[in-house]
Amino acid sequence: MEAVYGILQGFSTVLEPMRLFYCFIGVFIGTFVGVLPGLGPAGTIALLLPTTYRLDPISSLIMLAGICYGCMYGSSSTSILLNIPGEPASAITCLDGYQMARQGRAGTALGVSAIGSFFAGTISLVGLVLFAPILAAFALKFGPPEYFSLTVMSMTIITYLARISMVKALMMATAGLILSTVGMDPIAATVRFGYGIPSLFDGFGIVPVMMGLFGIAEVLENVGRQVQAEIYSGKIKNILGTLEDWKRSAWPIVRGTLIGFFLGIFPGVGAIVPTLISYGLEKKLSKHPENFGTGEIEGVAAPEACNNAAVGGTFIPLMSMGIPSNTMTAMLLAAMMIYGLHPGPLLLKQTPQVFWGVIASMYVGNVFLLILNLPLIPLWVKVLRIPQCFLFTFILLFCMIGAYSLNNNISDMIVMIIFGILGYLLREFKYEVAPLMFSFVLGPIIEPAFRRSLILSKGSMAIFFTRPISAVFLTVAMILLILPILTKKRLGAGRQEED
């Protein structure tokens, strides 16, 4: 009953005219960014965050959340029409979506994707309403040791799921934690690593760092590339599909929704892994698995529903425990901290209008996205033809203006440029930026939790293992760290036996 009252309160908050406007702006920008491959929701939030400082926190978060789930809607258009995923979570859609477009069924693929995404988004929001308050009530029992152990486990999951190298991901996570210690000590209130530079006394600003790592680095990475993707030029028709298309899509959409939502809840999993699992499951359940990759509608319906449901799932640990699941929610966490909010269980207790307002806005935003995506598909096709030289020039200009406008201080621009060059070098040498950003955002949470725990225990590390919840989190983290080493040893032993 409390959840029903809360969501009704949320709708009364979001249905105010200006907040509806910001919700619409957020989902529109999110769709636009999702259609254009490259920048992504985390980079977009980093670019737009300075523009939200004069808004109230609820309006700002409604707009930023709209960018997050709007990107997933828009990225399907790029995957189907260009064979290039706008977001990594939509990569699997390229396999069958682009083939459907080549067969003249682009409209059907886009329609199934949009309506399936709306269904998945709606169901994930129901789950968010049901599970988030329960998890928030559970998180109220957490003390500093539990929060420290939970953040360690979340960071370990992020590094464990690294796409390139777990060792490199651990190095990036460590670097992010080190960078987060620059500035004022949270316990002793003394300046650390300032080196006499006044602009470092408050540490590195989250926004200039993120704009550099995502915006500037993206521009530098694409400078000089003359890759022109082949855009589908046929007529977009039959968007609603046939009855047979929906018979084949219905259960894949349901299964993809459930997989995406429940896996998205786990910190570090995000939306990429669930979509791969969803696609694999549909292929296994199909009577003709050999046809997957040639234009099967199930191969579009399931992963598109899955990645949109996963976005709703990732909001549960963010809203109820203050723990981000991926780079996108890490940026939202940073935004909440900048707005002076307390992410986690205190968010529901102290500012319920923010908690329920953002959740209700996600449903309203899903309705906007359904209205936007079906009629505006021809517009998104034209957007795909924007030359990249204009797009990246605009991004660079926006980064410069945004960084300077934070404090009217050129030092923020310098920090952004330095981290932009660093982000470019990391990409060139195959180091993932996500663990660095993740640990940089969590640094202000994990350090005070660790030090307060030691104060409570009078310097004893045993406090992390004698408290049951903390011990479980640390045990999971240690297993994930040790597992790759054991796996490699077993693989090595197996190869020796074969030899």
Inter-residue contact 334 to 50 (CB < 8 Å)? no
Number of H helices, E strands in the chain: 22, 2
DSSP 8-state secondary structure symbol assigned to residue 496: H
Inter-residue contact 259 to 313 (CB < 8 Å)? no
Per-residue tokens: 383: 């957007």
Rounded to whole angstroms, how far apart are CA atoms 455 and 143? 12
pLDDT tens digits along 365-421: 888 887 877 677 677 667 666 776 777 777 788 778 777 776 778 888 888 899 989
pLDDT tens digits along 149-168: 888 887 887 777 666 677 88
Q: For residue 492, what pLDDT is reported?
A: 45
Inter-residue contact 124 to 312 (CB < 8 Å)? yes
Give the three-state DSSP class for 191.
Answer: strand
Rounded mean pLDDT for each run of 10 residues along the chain, 499 residues in total? 77 89 90 72 77 84 87 77 68 80 82 85 84 78 85 80 76 90 83 83 82 79 60 64 84 90 74 79 83 84 86 82 78 83 79 87 86 72 70 76 76 88 88 83 85 89 90 89 69 43
Q: For residue 274, what pLDDT is reported?
A: 82
Query: pTM of this prediction?
Result: 0.75
Per-residue tokens: 443: 């640094």
State which H helix or E strand residue 91 sits in: none
Q: Give rounded-to-5 percent helix, strand, coil for the chain.
A: 75, 0, 25
What b/e sequence results for 317-335 when a residue is b if at least 16 CB atoms lie within 10 Å of its CB, and e otherwise?
bbbbbbbbbbbbbbbbbbb
Q: For residue 338, what pLDDT is reported?
A: 82
Q: For residue 496, what pLDDT is reported?
A: 45
Inter-residue contact 292 to 281 (CB < 8 Å)? no
Q: For residue 493, what pLDDT is reported?
A: 45
Q: For residue 227, what pLDDT is reported?
A: 52
Count CB atoms within 10 A of the CB of residue 377.
19
Rounded to whole angstroms, how far apart are CA atoms 272 and 89? 4
Q: For residue 21, what pLDDT is reported?
A: 93
Q: What is the dihedral of CA 134, 26, 45, 112, to 10 degrees?
A: 80
Torsional sign, CA 184, 185, 189, 190:
negative
